[in-house]
Amino acid sequence: MIDFKHLNEKKISEQFLKHGYLILDTDSNISLNYLRDEILLNIEKICNFETNKNQSKEKILNNFHKYIKKNNLNDIRLKIIDLINKDKKFRQNYFLAAKNILFKIVGNELSMQTRINLSIQTPNDSSSLLPLHSDVWSGDSPFEVVIWIPLVNCYKTKSMYILPPNEYKKIEKNFPRYSGNSSNEFFNKIKNKVKWLKVNYGQILIFNQALTHGNVVNVQKETRWSMNCRFKSIFSPYGDKKIGEFFEPITLRAASEIGIKYNFPKIK
């Protein structure tokens, strides 16, 4: 296959194909800081308390579990999700925080998930788990990628894991061996093969959501805050989640606009 990509783009593509993910510095600290600042403002509104201005923003988020009752966590999370998705600037800044890597891995005509998701995982909380899964198994298109943005430093069980492509291929070949298992049984069979990802605030994780991934109980002493959103090429095949419903075009080019609107002249 002919490949006219720049040498640097080829290298990045090869790394993504080999590992199934990339962890890179954000394209825009301004956009990333906007996202975190808005989250903090919404925390103040929803939880009805003022964050300590003498504490760093990361410390406030890391210690969030000390300020709330655990049984209020999901209600708080859903309210924050609702507010950030009503903010017209939030999705744009989310995209700008990862624009360059998206253009290199996915393309420059993109569809973006219409809603951004937020994960808050307090220490030793088993109610906020996302067990081992592959998004494609539940109807997502294999042409999608996930941009995962931490609002605090995430590591070990405060982060997420992913099964590398070479190990995933082994599962594909022997899938009947795993398909009848529960998520926990499945994970126990491959837990020594998964890769735990260390992603600091200021970095962006892009990963292949067709690979099995998930998280476990956060046994660190800090709260995990992370956001995730799917992106794909506008004209690549869609799964169950369609354009106009789950996805929205965000970087449609002029030639594509012309082509979409073009009608052949009618001959009488």
Q: Give the pLDDT score at 130.
A: 84
**DSSP-assigned beta bridge partners for residue 24:** 204
Domain holding 60, by residue range, is 9-236+245-250
Torsion of CA 24, 27, 33, 38, to 10 degrees: -100
Q: What is the pLDDT of residues 74-92, one digit of tens each?
A: 999 999 999 999 999 999 9
- Count of domains forming the chain: 1
- Residue at 216 is within a domain: yes
233 forms beta bridges with: 110
4 domain residue, yes or no: no
Q: What is the per-residue pLDDT across 89-146, written as a single tens digit (0 to 9) for each?
A: 999 999 999 999 999 999 999 999 999 999 999 999 988 888 898 999 989 999 999 9
CATH of the domain at 133: 2.60.120.620
pTM for the full predicted model: 0.94
Going from the C-alpha of 189 to that of each of 24, 78, 183, 218, the distances in angstroms are 30, 33, 10, 20
For residue 258, tell me if it sits in a domain. no
- Least confident segment among 163-172, 181-190, 201-210: 181-190
Least trusted range by pLDDT, from 4-8, 51-55, 227-231: 51-55
Domain membership of residue 261 (yes or no) is no
Helix (H) or strand (E) holding 239: none
Is residue 154 a part of any domain in this protein? yes
The answer to whether residue 260 sits within a structural domain is no
**Please, which pLDDT band fits residue 55 given cuts at 50, 70 and 90?**
confident
What is the residue-wise DSSP string for 118-163?
EEEE-TT-STT---SB-GGGGT--TT-EEEEEESS-B-GGGS-EE-
The pLDDT of residue 176 is 76
What sign does the CA torsion over 62, 198, 192, 137 have? positive
**What are the tens digits of pLDDT across the range 167-183?**
999 988 887 777 777 88
Q: Does 47 fall in a domain?
A: yes
* Beta bridge partner(s), residue 148: 205, 228
Lookup: tokens for 9 = 């783009």
In a domain, 145, yes or no: yes
